[in-house]
Amino acid sequence: MITNNNNQLLSRKEAAIFLGVKESTLSVWACVKRYNLPVVKVGRLSKYRMSDLLQFLDDRTDPQK
């Protein structure tokens, strides 16, 4: 379940749904460091902070549209 808690850790699947991309896209971005989107490693799991996802979207929002 996704809530609006900025410190919440989301799974790769939840983050992908939130951003509207595939899980594999997030995997590639993390591997090749295409974007500065921090990944929190919890054991072998990759997690994403809601605040980082919101910042990622904010950085890519065109203010003129």
2 lies in some domain = no
Q: How many domains does the chain have?
A: 1
Note the pLDDT of residue 65.
64
Note the pLDDT of residue 8.
92
pLDDT in tens, 11-58: 999 999 999 999 999 999 999 989 989 999 999 999 999 999 999 999
49 lies in some domain = yes
Question: Across residues 2-8, what is the average pLDDT?
Answer: 70
65 lies in some domain = no
Burial class (CB in 10 A: 0-12, 13-18, 19+), 41: exposed
Strand partners, 57: none
Query: What token pair was written down for 10?
Result: 């989301």
35 lies in some domain = yes
Query: What is the residue range of 33's domain?
Result: 9-59
Reduce the DSSP state of residue 49 to 3 states and report it.
Answer: strand
Whether pTM exceeds 0.85: no
Reduce the DSSP state of residue 5 to 3 states and report it.
Answer: coil
